[in-house]
Chain A
Amino acid sequence: MNRLVNAFLLTSLIAGTSLVIFSNHWFPIWLGLELSTLSIIPLLSYTSQSRSVEATLKYFLVQAFSAALLLNGAVPNLWVSNSWDVNSITSPISYFIITAALIIKLGLAPCHFWFPDVLSGLPFLSTIIIACWQKIAPMFLLLSLSNLVSSEIIIVCSILSVLVGGWGGLNQISVRKILAYSSIGHLGWVTCVAFFIPEVSYLLFLFYILNNTAILLICHNGSLYYLSSLSKSNVVPITAILFSIALLSLGGLPPLGGFINKVIPLIVFSLNGNNFIIPFFLIGSLISLFFYIRIVFNTSLTLFPQHSLNIVSSRTGNSSLSQPIISTLIPITIWGLLLLPIFFLFI
């Protein structure tokens, strides 16, 4: 794609998300969400493969529908409280509609069905935009609204997301679908904390985004589209080890950084006396660990019979822009456990 067009579309994507984050009025928020959706449609569907076009269309339909639902939910609030202000949600109906719209946008269960489908049709760089960047705006909205009218719908949806994320990823062979289900599960962990302490949710969400970006960038470098190509990939061998470490960190194994994504929600839940929901999260996290382990086994711990040309080609074609970004993000997965004391600022 023409560089100028690319730059323009990315700039308007960033502008759209910033518009959502920085406004107080419902209309610019809806505008920002639609702007970010519309600006990435050319980015996603530029490759004229029909699978990408189909994924783009599904993505657009879901996002446009949920954005319209969002604006529609702001209207009863206007009726009741006479204000378009975001921080003045007073009617439960309005809150419910807005929350439902945000759940569809984020891809939490039970509205998660579009997410693996869309994600498995796109190349990996577009996957980073859909799975990481596009979550920022709706997550921000959800977190800033959860202070006002806390309702248990968030907890129900997050428990469902964790369980769906665990069980859904078990039968997949496409790496993108596996990462989609893992994304659903992790967003379940993050949004349940939003019910209690939203500031901590920001920290967990940021950590998850960075971890996921690192994994998706490594997958993009090695073109790891299916489980069968994991062992034949031509990544530099140290990247295979770091890929496994990043995945185990996503699975929440101590002493890696992703462990804070598990221990902080547990502390928050027990701080508020909500011990009953903890077993569901543990079950979901254990099940999702299984398919992370499957990817780790296939990547670096088993050696399939390899053609000698594959070993030679690992030296070429890896000096791309994504390498410095990967090198910056991977230390978070290794040393991230040292970030745990930051959490105690928020209690």
Chain B
Amino acid sequence: MLTLLSVSISTIVLINVKKWNWNALFVALAMMTFLSITTVNNSGSASWSFLSHSLAVDSLSAPLIILSCWLAPLCFLAQNVVKGNSGSLQNGFLALTCSIIFFLLLTFSSLNILSFFICFEATLIPTLVLITRWGANVERLQAGTYFLFYTLFGSLPLLVSIVLISQTTSTLMIPISEIVTLQGNTFFSINIWWIITIVAFLVKMPVYGFHLWLPKAHVEAPVAGSMILAAILLKLGGYGIIRMNAYFPDVTTLSAILTVICCWGALITSILCTRQTDLKALIAYSSVGHMSLVAAGTIVFSDWTISGAIMLMIAHGLVSSALFALANILYERTHTRNIFITRGFKMITVLLPFWWLISCAANLGLPPLPNLIGELYIITGIISWSIFLAPILGVATVFGAIYSLLIYQNTNTQSIVLSSMSFNEISPREHILILFHLLPLLSIIVAPNSCMVWSN
């Protein structure tokens, strides 16, 4: 693990390479990805490996570490417009992205809850700078403010909860968390403790009530920011809930309420998706829907739901990032994200509809892609928890299929609007970008155990 971290922090040195800094960084991060695949644990039980004093990898963090390492070179591949900036601005962009990846690696591998929190927050500042400095519209300042303050509103109570946990149990180590018992004072105290711990991750996921920052941040962010945000930073929330739920084994009333809220949130956002006009906002709301499902799964906290949650997190990260990259491919050429205008590109692009088809099919949960496996596990677990959520989750899945097909049909098979539009060819860089998003999806189909091991 230390190898991985030191490689990731030393890639920042490559910013100073004169003419080939983007390529050098791409190669270095690709090598780091290759290193990170060794963390996968195929033994079938959730055990800690790569154990050191303060860093370790277990079956929950290994897929997420690989995902964050995998997304890093793809971000550099996607962001083309920044190359028009001056040298120092390019270096700033590269440094920010590398620092986000470094802090993400630290977050997923830290054994100490306080260091997890510090690195969890440390990803905020570079993302904020990415959104507000390299975004394109005036609204990016408000988007950055919403992003920062929604997250901090949730995470400051989390800090209080971490401090309280350290007072009560005099340890902050994650592997011990199943053994310690927290004693609140009255009946309400342990529930309030759980709420203030969870709110940070619910905001980060986001679930439906706290989701307002996500469409704004996604629409205003540059494509690399959107990709990292959708792929990894939302998964920090799921990872956090799974880790912290071990301290609170018996909060039944509140977890029941939250599960229902998350399931309804998945349904509502799926319906909202069908009425969006901005393509990136559509994909953002679909992210909210999928992650609400993950949140419901992690709050129910049974074996099946958490396995499904991990699988859905990985699959959704890849697919959502691919969708944002596809949307950006169109945006770079037409400079609009309006779905009434970005229509009918099947006529003028060569391989792109194929990528759109696979990404939208994965988004709606087509077998045998891992999105379906994750959703199936989560829905099965939630239905066994309470049968009354079955129609809600069913309708949410149907609407998920509706808007995913809507995205595909609108961008590809509708009649094209701008007949006199000059449209550059899709370069091999962009083809490789989407291909490398979708290849891991296909490989997870044959090895689902790499992303699904969790035994309580």
Contacts and interface: CB of A to CB of B under 8 A. Distances in A.
A266 B158 CA distance: 12
Interface of A: 237, 248, 253-256, 259, 262-263, 266-267, 270-271, 275, 278, 282, 285-286, 289-290, 293, 297, 300-302, 337
Contacts of B152: 286, 289
B230 to A, nearest CB: 22
A270 B167 contact: yes
B118 A253 contact: no
Contact of B118 (A275, A278, A289, A337): A337
Given A237-B88, A297-B132, 9 more contacts: A254-B121, A266-B159, A267-B167, A282-B157, A282-B160, A293-B148, A300-B133, A301-B141, A302-B141
Nearest to B99: A255
B163 interface: yes
Contacts of B148: 289, 293
A56 B450 CA distance: 69
A282 B132 CA distance: 25
Interface in B401-449: none
Contact of B163 (A237, A254, A266): A266
B149 A297 contact: no
B117 interface: yes
7 contacts: A248-B125, A263-B159, A266-B160, A293-B148, A297-B144, A300-B133, A302-B141
A289 B148 CA distance: 10
B132 A254 contact: no
A189 to B, nearest CB: 13
Contacts of A254: 117-119, 121-122
A301 B117 contact: no
A15 to B, nearest CB: 42
Interface of B: 88, 103, 114, 117-119, 121-122, 124-125, 129, 132-133, 141, 144-145, 148-149, 152-153, 156-157, 159-160, 163-164, 166-167
B164 A270 contact: yes
A262 B157 CA distance: 12
Contacts of B160: 266, 270, 275, 278, 282
B156 A286 contact: yes
B122 A255 contact: yes
A270 to B, nearest CB: 5
A71 to B, nearest CB: 41
B203 to A, nearest CB: 13
Contacts of B141: 297, 301-302
Contacts of A248: 125
A321 to B, nearest CB: 27
The binding surface of chain B is classed by DSSP as: helix
Contacts of A300: 133
A278 B125 CA distance: 24
Nearest to A262: B159
Q: Of residues A237, A254, A270, A285, which shows the largest number of chain B Cβ atoms within 10 Å of its Cβ?
A: A254
A317 B71 CA distance: 44
A253 B132 contact: no
Contacts of A297: 132, 141, 144
Contacts of B88: 237
Nearest to B121: A254
Given A290-B145, A293-B148, A253 B121 contact: yes
Contacts of A267: 163, 166-167
B156 A282 contact: yes
A299 to B, nearest CB: 11
Given A255-B119, A259-B118, A301 B163 contact: no
Given A237-B88, A297-B144, A253 B124 contact: yes
Contacts of A289: 148-149, 152
Contact of A286 (B114, B117, B119, B153): B153
A246 to B, nearest CB: 13
Contacts of A290: 145, 149
B194 to A, nearest CB: 15
Contacts of A262: 159
A56 to B, nearest CB: 37
Contacts of B129: 301
Contacts of B145: 290, 293
Given A286-B149, A297-B141, A275 B117 contact: no
Contacts of A301: 129, 132-133, 141, 144
A138 B359 CA distance: 64
Contacts of A285: 156
Contacts of B103: 255
Contacts of A271: 167
A199 B114 CA distance: 23
Given A255-B122, A290-B145, A302 B163 contact: no
Given A270-B163, A289-B152, A255 B121 contact: yes
A293 B149 CA distance: 10
A123 B122 CA distance: 35
A259 B156 CA distance: 11
A287 to B, nearest CB: 10
A278 B196 CA distance: 13
Contact of B132 (A255, A266, A302, A337): A302
Contacts of B156: 282, 285-286
B120 to A, nearest CB: 8
A293 B131 CA distance: 13
A231 to B, nearest CB: 13
